[in-house]
Chain A
Amino acid sequence: MSDDTEDRIAEIETLPLDAWHRRKGARMVPFAGYHMPIQFEGIVAEHNWTRQQAGLFDVSHMGQLLVSGERAAEELEKLLPGAIASLKPGKVRYSLLVDENGGILDDLMVTNATPWIEGDEEEGTEGHWGEPAYYLVVNGATKWDDIAHLREHLDDDVTLTHMDDHALIAVQGPNAATALNRVMRNVIDDMVFMESVIHDFGEWPLRITRSGYTGEDGFEISVPAQFAESLADRLCAEIEVRPIGLGARDSLRLEAGLPLYGHDITTETDPVSADLGFALTKRRREEGGWMGHGEVMKVLDRGPAQKRVGLAIEGRMPAREGASIYSGDTQVGRVTSGGFSPTLERPIAMGYVDTALADEGTELEVEVRNKRLPTKVAKLPFVPHRYHRGK
């Protein structure tokens, strides 16, 4: 027996919910520089619970950043290929940080967090929007590089704040809204997928965003670190909510066809090849003015050499990251993440293959331990998304 996944890394830090996880029976592993729970009762049980009920995920390792200032949107648009200036207060968008070569530095969520300032009748002031502010959630493993990149390229008249005194708790699953509604009445009633609100829950100032990375309806709640344990307890007191580890988070996002930074997307991949063209807003494609625009447009114009696709693997043997993909005797790609789908009860994977072979249904082979496994290019997501988009 060997298990080489738990390499010891120096200087592993703890997150606000560390003791809480240990009390709940988590097995902790080093991840993105922190001690993180890989599993509680077991990956498959946690995975299925999230798909059927609701799971609580500690994603406090992720970077929560606030970019504020009158010119915050224009400055962010220098680095992100999405339309930030037209993003309305309370709306959320998936975006990317792209380098000068068109490679992906990170993927992230941007929320227009511009505060609404209430009017005051006695003083004769009317309600109005305050100073523009954008709340970014970036990947844990890349947050320090992201912060350095933003500091280097954003103008001095915008302020970048790392909200490292905040935890981030995700509640995901078909019953996430039911549970959250019982804890905080009337807060999420009008919210749909990719919307965000500020809510003072007693003395806890929360930011609640209807988003997530499991393919299910759900929420991500930003909470000051000192209240994180109490909030996690409040949420897990609901019968639908159980703590879920990183293991199930990975299998859930893989089923949902969502790329994982550092694996499915890296600086070696560009947004077009990664099939993330939706993050390149039409106006921004045409007008440019963002880092990497020229290189990304070249790929868009001539077509990418390879594309990120889903792979359905025959049999029960999973193909993991790094496995080679073949068409006949020719290697045509590589698996970037793969594992066993608890929902579909068969192996699934994502990888890059030559564009000519990227159409759904194309028959390929994946090599695992010198065996060729019959594989078909599959539609993503493997398991349909169930986001709450409203009527």
Chain B
Amino acid sequence: MARYFTDEHEWIDVDGDTATIGITDYAQGQLGDIVFVELPGSGTALSKGGDAAVVESVKAASDVYAPIDGEVTEANEALEDDPALVNTAPESDGWFFRMTVGDKSQLDGLMDEAAYKSFCDGL
């Protein structure tokens, strides 16, 4: 399984034809206390760069964009009851949704962990 990162601070775990999407530890730190996450329903068609989810902190709402094309297969229901999971476990239990990988070539433009780390260091 490979983990990719976007410059919008999302992570993508790719396992065969399925990808799991969440926001990074850096992102949750910037947002602060998460109080609500609005997730796409199963079957929602996403296109790379389009709106996929909304994460609400105490102070503001922020959009989460689809990192690749595909169709949503599952949303993380645990976030409904406990949105703070995004703060406490952003890169594991606080995942947002799973989707199909529509176009594998889109993964080529994404960062690996080392590249993402140096990207954050430069911010």
Q: Taking beta carbons and an 8 Å cutoff, which residues of A are in contact with B? A: 1-3, 5, 38-39, 42-45, 47, 247, 250-251, 316-318, 320, 339-340, 342, 347, 369
Contacts and interface: CB of A to CB of B under 8 A. Distances in A.
Nearest to B26: A1
Interface residues of B, number: 25
A38 B54 CA distance: 21
B99 interface: no
Contact of B36 (A39, A42, A45, A340): A340
B9 A247 contact: no
A51 to B, nearest CB: 14
B89 interface: no
14 contacts: A1-B9, A1-B62, A2-B8, A2-B65, A39-B32, A43-B59, A44-B33, A247-B59, A316-B36, A317-B36, A318-B36, A320-B60, A340-B36, A347-B36
Given A1-B64, A39-B32, A42-B32, A251 B58 contact: yes
**Interface pairs A-B: 10 shortest CB-CB:** A340-B35, A1-B9, A44-B33, A1-B8, A43-B58, A316-B36, A247-B59, A317-B36, A1-B27, A340-B58
B45 interface: no
A48 to B, nearest CB: 11
B66 to A, nearest CB: 12
B10 interface: yes
Contacts of B57: 43
B59 A38 contact: yes
A254 to B, nearest CB: 10
B83 to A, nearest CB: 7
Nearest to A2: B63
B38 interface: yes
Contacts of B56: 317-318, 340
B38 A3 contact: no
Contact of B63 (A1, A44, A47, A316): A1
Contacts of A43: 32-33, 57-59
B23 interface: yes
Given A1-B63, A2-B63, A317-B36, A342 B58 contact: yes
Contacts of A340: 35-36, 56, 58
A39 B57 CA distance: 13
B44 to A, nearest CB: 14
A2 B23 CA distance: 11
Contacts of A42: 32-33
Most chain A CB within 10 A, of B10, B23, B60, B83, is at B60
